[in-house]
Chain A
């Protein structure tokens, strides 16, 4: 941990992740729960954002319920073409994650776009431009999506 979190930070982070009130003044409600002033909640959140611990506060959507199609893709890219290929992928609309991984398939990215047809079109274009095969692995079943961390039990995992 880059910076020490005090008990109030820890409790606040858990509330922010798991039970952020849907109210007109959510930070005031959190302040009351923590027994501090609203201003202090706002200051603490601003600090944790500037330190990089909090990425953002908002919603995570279910892309398929919004009518979008998403898939996990992988490519086997020769060493000397990795940079150019990664750059090409990064520029595609709807690519949110793109990583180099230790495997024969070494470049992995996620694509979320408006339709199945758009997925096909974009991947076909990528194959044409790169001259490399792209494998597409859409999810057929979701067992878990949970991106919250218990900040009060840092040392108990």
Chain B
């Protein structure tokens, strides 16, 4: 694997919440008998390797004003998937866009997470994406209840 046990300890801290102190890496550094600098170097290396995808604050989008969110899945022919996926990636209201392997009875392969402030805005964004991509067949999978939402704990 591309990381060692010390990296795993660092990831364990970074998957949670960084201490809100002047030297947030100090405690971890001390427990691993490393310097703050060594911890920071390892974090940079984990970023370079792409193991840490993003670094910084994670906001709750509901609190950020985006209360109307929907997973919208689109039907697309295999030869057009990449082109449409790239177009969707350029839409700022879309936070996530994936191509997925789906069973035959669920024929929508391009998955997007769309964030809007109200129902009207959501409809407008979907219409815009449909225009941009030419895709007409899609399923709007609005969430009506949240049973669970947590950050992944790897280690």
Contacts and interface: CB of A to CB of B under 8 A. Distances in A.
Interface of A: 1-2, 13, 16-20, 22-28, 38, 42, 45-46, 49, 51-63, 65-68, 72, 74, 86-87, 89-90, 94-103, 105, 107-109, 112, 135, 137-149, 151, 154, 157
B98 A141 contact: yes
User: Size band of the B side of the interface?
Assistant: 35 or more
Contacts of B141: 101-103, 108
B127 to A, nearest CB: 15
Contacts of A24: 23, 25, 36-37, 40
A10 to B, nearest CB: 11
Q: Is the interface of A mostly helix, strand, loop or mixed?
A: mixed
Given A23-B40, A38-B22, A102-B141, 16 more contacts: A17-B57, A46-B20, A58-B14, A60-B54, A61-B11, A61-B154, A62-B52, A94-B152, A98-B149, A99-B145, A102-B142, A138-B101, A143-B99, A145-B54, A145-B95, A147-B58
Contact of A60 (B36, B53, B100, B146): B53
B53 A54 contact: no
B86 interface: yes
A93 to B, nearest CB: 9
Interface of B: 1-3, 11, 13-18, 20-25, 36-37, 40, 43-44, 46-47, 49-61, 63-66, 71, 81-82, 85-86, 88-89, 92-103, 106, 111, 115, 117, 121, 139-152, 154
Of listed A13, A62, A151, residue having the most chain B CB within 10 A: A62
A48 B52 CA distance: 24
A55 B154 contact: no
Of listed A18, A25, A59, A142, residue having the most chain B CB within 10 A: A59
Nearest to A105: B106
B85 A101 contact: no
Contacts, number: 234
B114 to A, nearest CB: 12
B51 A22 contact: no
Given A53-B63, A96-B152, A86 B100 contact: no
Contacts of B154: 61, 63, 66, 68
Contact of B146 (A38, A51, A68, A99): A99
